[in-house]
Amino acid sequence: MTTPIPAEIAETDLDAIAGFEGRVAVFVAEDGKLDAAGRRVNRLTRGALARLIAAPAFAEMKDGELAELAFPAGMAAEAVLALRLPRRADAAAARAAGVALAKAGRAKPILVMAGNRPRADQVLLGLTLRAYAYAEMKSKPADAPGAVTLMVSKPDELGPAADQVRALAEGVFFTRDLVNCPANVLTTTEFATRLEGLRDLGVEVEVLDEPELEKLGMRTLLAVGQGSESPSKVVVMSWNGGKKGDAPLALVGKGVVFDTGGISIKPAAGMEEMTMDMGGAGVVAGAMKALALRKAAANVVGLVGLVENMPDGRAQRPGDVVASMKGDTVEVINTDAEGRLVLADVLWYAQDRFEPRGVIDLATLTGAIIIGLGHENAGVFSNDDALCNAFLKAAAAEGEGAWRMPLGPAYDKMLKSDIADMKNVGGRPAGSITAAQFLQRFIRDGMPWIHLDIAGVARVGSDSTYAPKGATGWGVLALNRLVDDLNGG
């Protein structure tokens, strides 16, 4: 498991600057003035820092960017990093500064002289998230990241916020590790085992195997996995940190550990990326871990449906009709539209068993959402304006792109089947919307619900703001904030 970069919160010590052998970071205000640490560095370097920030290139930099003074005379450090950041920077700018520090080098220790600046915890969060590197499959261990020492005027006040940062980072890293892991390693059984490890944090974890799922009537979920040697499972994770008896918020994730498309097999080119088709389940798992680590005062239940979609003599066929736990029947037109079949049963089970205050499902569901929104925003579909607006607000606050998409009964006719209650696809037009309409049929009247189509944001082919190429962990931060917002935190 990838662990966050080691971080220590210490009281400001200007005498420590001269002999520090890694990288020393100082902040420069919008007016170009230096704080006490910056002035100390400038004296040690005989004015070199002042000349660096007086250069036109520094004035043209954006908030959160940095300039580097390599191997400064008068100091043991290999570099001084001058960060342009307003004294009253917002969270986004502070995180950007942390990202810049992470990009400046991962292997060497870094001394961040934050002094009495606000948002130091957000600098640490940006640094920690961007320093992630997935090395589980490497034959040689990755170089250990250099430790971070964050020097501030009042370390006792920053300490609890730094603990929150680590909890969030561990949740995000848990998601990224799961999404990056190859399918021959992260089988449905291995996935369930990793989730069972959350018991150590106080999460109640229950694993439902195929005989139990059959007894519950989860035939749409089981039909997806019947062509695989990897057994289908549903994992239920309960965090009971709120008031006893209060209805939980339910998070439901699609966990297709590999998606060949089944009998409706996908093209070979790019199929290797389908290891990420469990991204929704990965985000649910990461959110549950973050909530548990920070002892969130909330009741939240996470449910993930774990399957593998493979072609086989036993695999479901186009034209099959399967019955859901709800009782509705589905004509399978395309076996590559399997995620909605998994979610249909788990959504119904979540409502039937837990009677939650609201339901949010996450899934790498459609390529259509990537055509519509690219890799900048997840698609947000909802039947409840209050819950939807609360989520959009939380996502915006965390810098996680999300855009509301329409729903409406006019799309239902595209799912009409001649031989069953519905088809599992509605054709190419409005593909992400008809997928959401399909899921809405498994939401009870009056139940607040959000469907998040994260196909474009769960894993990206180039570096993103807070992550290197690969899994992003999108959604963990937004869901964590939403839980607090809904519970008055």
Residues catalogued as catalytic: 266, 340
Place of tokens 């561990």: 170
Neighbours of 268 (CB within 10 A): 8
Nearest residue to 30 via CA among 69, 61, 68: 61
